[in-house]
A = this chain, B = another copy of it.
Amino acid sequence: MPSPKVAMPDHGAPACSLCLFHAVCGVAEMGSMPAPAGARLHPERLTVRIGDPVFRQGRPALTVYPLRAGSAKQVYESPLGWRQVTGFAMPGDVLGLEPHEAPQYSTAAVALQDSVVCAVPVESLRELMAAPAFRVAALEVMRRNAERERVLLVAVGSMKAPQRLAMLLLDLAGEQARRHGRQDGTLTLAMPRTDIASLLGLTLETVSRLLSRFASVGLIAVRQRRLRIIDPAGLASIYADLEAGAQRPAREGDQGAEFASGMRMCREAAT
């Protein structure tokens, strides 16, 4: 143990209860109740320090890593050397879960703070996949991941900066709520502005400015990494605002005109 001081993640969270492997894990929520009957999994736990990779892109994908505590980002590096954050992971998410039995990790996963992951060998995973119930759940997770990535593509490809950011905030808040039950809109941005910017295809300055702007119109309150959503509906209207946001590319489900204020509101506050 060479590390003198490891700031542990503040989320003293019930990560395991949302874990894909929860039902079959013998380690989960130790103390709360005895290992459920039929538990077959006793994954090793690993501590990853801030900035360290859980795994690197291109390395043999031999293990999947449910995130137990902390948070991580997924980073993709294109053949030409472009890097981009493709997603953030929170406790309960599974890192390294590659679709199509990919032999290599398609992205890297980097800890955004000191974090704890479990290490599940792919062989174990494969065995588990034999069980229909688990299989369905696992596939559902992968499908959601794919969907997420596609939504991101559309966002980056055809929405304006404020919309993209609003989208992210709402998403993060949703995830946080799903995990902690807190409905007060409080959330901690574990990632630096740079990473948010990368994910959204913006610059950190733009992200910073937008956060300030959102705050100045009373949509949110921010102080560094601490953020509280004050007006979720307002954010949603910015996110959804069809008229104002488009970068033109086709879109036609012209429902959703019920909103429409947020964007303007926010744009005008830019004095």
Contacts and interface: CB of A to CB of B under 8 A. Distances in A.
A197 interface: yes
In the assembly, how many copies of this chain are there?
2
A100 B155 CA distance: 24
Nearest to A195: B250
7 contacts: A80-B253, A99-B100, A100-B142, A102-B143, A158-B198, A203-B248, A203-B249
Contacts of A50: none
B100 A146 contact: yes
Given A81-B242, A84-B153, A197-B249, A100 B158 contact: no
A56 to B, nearest CB: 14
A139 B239 CA distance: 36
Interface residues of A, number: 51
Contacts of A142: 99-100
A94 to B, nearest CB: 13
Contacts of A252: 81, 83
A203 B157 CA distance: 11
A36 interface: no
A146 B142 CA distance: 12
A156 B159 contact: no
